[in-house]
């Protein structure tokens, strides 16, 4: 089952059993619901209405959003504010909107980071931001209360969370009598892949799938191969969503922005080029959401800040620096090629 352009990247669901039309229709309907709530690229979405609310207001989200809000609160606290859904305003200020034109990782910049010099951003001034801590939550943590326009962006974990919710739908519709959120093995094999953020569910504990890890310096190549059992594998990279920032006159400047924004200063993170995170299915209810969030958070925070979360969910991760240096946890399930 393939759904083009869903969540901006497309979704592919591979299964050892046929996915009935009614289940496919339910998944498509949920994609529509998810985007109508969380997509800042849709003018009719709930987060877009929040961004247009001159004096703020009370915004009721579906019950399924509560675990996502809890995750953002957890990572906001752990990273001391660097991981924040309120970076939507910064992304818009830098030009990440419906008309953004991404540029490829050029051969000229291979092996260096365009934003490595702080001087390149010395003249950039952001507006005083609203932070996740400024938004009060009520109504069982599904209501967000604001007193001014707030532009949210859930891209740091939203796609992974969506994968987990679709996984629950598939288990509920096609699985055995076990609860949809059970960590018991499914009685069939399937994989949900949303633009490289993926969740594998196998009927046998020893089953694995091999996944190529993209080279951030040459996206046509791989830097390694991961072998994952039932669980989630997510990646973040500065290689694909890159664009030239326009100056006050609307002309393209020499600044290269990426979607990986540090919420503390509103500037794209530049210490890493790629990150990967793997979480076994048995360790938490939303392994893909946490893997997605960890892969994003590694760009904007210290590994020590994430240590408690990493331990709690049993995560393993790897990162690649601008100088091609690689660092990984001892049990990250991948073999990297020699440089």
pLDDT for the residue numbered 182: 53
Phi then psi dihedrals of residue 336, to 5 deg: -95, 145
Confidence band, pLDDT 50/70/90 cuts, at residue 332: very high
Phi then psi dihedrals of residue 188, to 5 deg: -155, 170
Confidence band, pLDDT 50/70/90 cuts, at residue 108: very low
pLDDT by residue (tens digit) across 79-98? 999 999 999 999 988 888 77
Q: CB neighbours of 21 closer than 8 A, spacing ≥ 6?
A: none
> Domains of the chain by range and CATH?
2-336 (3.10.520.10)
- Is the pLDDT at 228 greater than 90, yes or no? yes
pLDDT by residue (tens digit) across 242-300? 878 876 666 667 788 888 999 999 989 989 999 999 999 989 999 999 999 999 999 99
Region 148-159: mean pLDDT is 96
CA gap 317, 234 in Å, rounded: 9
Task: Residue 152: name the closest of 134, 140, 170, 169 by CA.
Answer: 134
- Is the pLDDT at 184 greater than 90, yes or no? no
pLDDT for the residue numbered 199: 98
* Alpha helices for the chain (secondary structure H): 21-38, 46-52, 66-78, 88-94, 158-174, 287-300, 307-313
pLDDT for the residue numbered 245: 81
Asked if 320 and 223 count as a contact pair (C-beta separation under 8 A), the reply is: yes
Where is pLDDT greater, at 288 or 114? 288
Secondary structure letter of residue 7 according to DSSP: G
Helix pair 158-174, 287-300: axis angle to 10 deg: 170
- pTM score, two decimals? 0.91
DSSP β-bridge partners for residue 60: 143
Region 26-40: mean pLDDT is 96
- Is the pLDDT at 310 greater than 60, yes or no? yes
- Is the pLDDT at 52 greater than 90, yes or no? yes
Query: Cα-atom radius of gyration of the chain, to the nearest Å?
Result: 20
The CA distances from residue 159 to 30, 188, 279, 290, 332, in Å, are 13, 24, 15, 11, 22
- Is the pLDDT at 116 greater than 90, yes or no? no
Question: What's the mean pLDDT when you consider all of the chain?
Answer: 88
Phi then psi dihedrals of residue 321, to 5 deg: -90, 165
CA gap 247, 222 in Å, rounded: 35
CA gap 1, 334 in Å, rounded: 27
- Is the pLDDT at 229 greater than 60, yes or no? yes
pLDDT by residue (tens digit) across 188-202? 899 999 998 999 999
**Site of tokens 């049990």:** 331
CA gap 5, 283 in Å, rounded: 31
Region 150-171: mean pLDDT is 96
Neighbours of 225 (CB within 10 A): 14
CA gap 118, 165 in Å, rounded: 40
């Amino acid at each position: 089952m393939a759904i083009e352009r869903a969540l901006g990247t497309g979704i592919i669901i591979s299964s050892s059993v046929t996915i009935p039309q009614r289940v496919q229709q339910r998944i498509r309907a949920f994609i529509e619901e998810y985007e109508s709530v969380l997509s800042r690229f849709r003018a009719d979405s709930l987060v877009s209405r929040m961004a247009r609310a001159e004096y703020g207001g009370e915004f009721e989200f579906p019950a399924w959003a509560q675990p996502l809000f809890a995750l953002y609160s957890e990572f906001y606290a752990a990273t001391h504010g660097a991981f924040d859904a309120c970076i939507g305003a910064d992304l818009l200020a830098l030009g990440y909107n419906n008309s953004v034109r991404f540029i490829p990782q050029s051969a000229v910049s291979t092996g260096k980071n365009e934003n490595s010099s702080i001087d390149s951003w010395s003249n950039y001034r952001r507006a005083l931001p609203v932070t996740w801590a400024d938004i009060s939550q009520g109504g069982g943590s599904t209501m967000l209360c604001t007193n001014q326009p707030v532009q949210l962006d859930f891209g740091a974990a939203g796609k992974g969370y969506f994968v987990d919710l679709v996984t629950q739908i598939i288990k509920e519709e096609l699985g055995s009598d076990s609860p949809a959120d059970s960590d018991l093995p499914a009685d069939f094999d399937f994989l949900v892949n949303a633009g490289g953020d993926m969740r594998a569910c196998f009927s046998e504990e020893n089953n694995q799938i091999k996944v190529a890890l993209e080279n951030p310096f040459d996206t046509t190549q791989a830097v390694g191969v991961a072998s994952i059992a039932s669980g989630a594998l997510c990646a973040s990279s500065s290689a694909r969503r890159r664009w030239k920032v326009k100056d006050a006159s609307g002309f393209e400047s020499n600044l290269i922005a990426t979607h990986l924004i540090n919420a503390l200063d509103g500037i794209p993170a530049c210490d890493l080029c790629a990150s990967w995170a793997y979480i076994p299915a048995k360790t938490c209810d939303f392994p893909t959401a946490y893997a997605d969030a960890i892969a994003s958070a590694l760009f904007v925070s210290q590994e020590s800040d994430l240590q408690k979360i990493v331990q709690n969910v049993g995560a393993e991760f790897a990162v690649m620096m601008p100088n091609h240096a690689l660092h990984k946890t001892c049990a990250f399930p991948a073999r990297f090629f020699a440089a």
